[in-house]
Amino acid sequence: MGRRKAGGYIFEWYSGDHEPFHVHIYEGSVFIGRYDVIHQKPIGDWKMTGRIRKALKQAGFIVR
């Protein structure tokens, strides 16, 4: 398991987790959603805010 903190969010990923490579996003202990790092988009029905986008970028998960 890996973990990074940025912008008030916690990003976790697990070796051996299903494809595509993604991170689980938490604000404290509250699960927000999953972000597909390979395709650079949210997974599921959650809305990405500017604050989450900025935190993903700070943590190195958004490359563009």
Mean pLDDT of 10-28: 92
DSSP state of 21: P
Q: Does the pLDDT of residue 18 top 80, yes or no? A: yes
In sequence order, which residues have a C-beta less than 8 Å from that of residue 15 and are 6 or more positions away?
1, 2
Q: Spell out the domain ranges in the chain.
A: 2-59
Q: What is the pLDDT of residues 33-47, one digit of tens each?
A: 999 999 999 999 999
**Structure pTM?**
0.91
Instruction: Provide the CA 15 distance to its chain's centre, in angstroms.
Output: 15
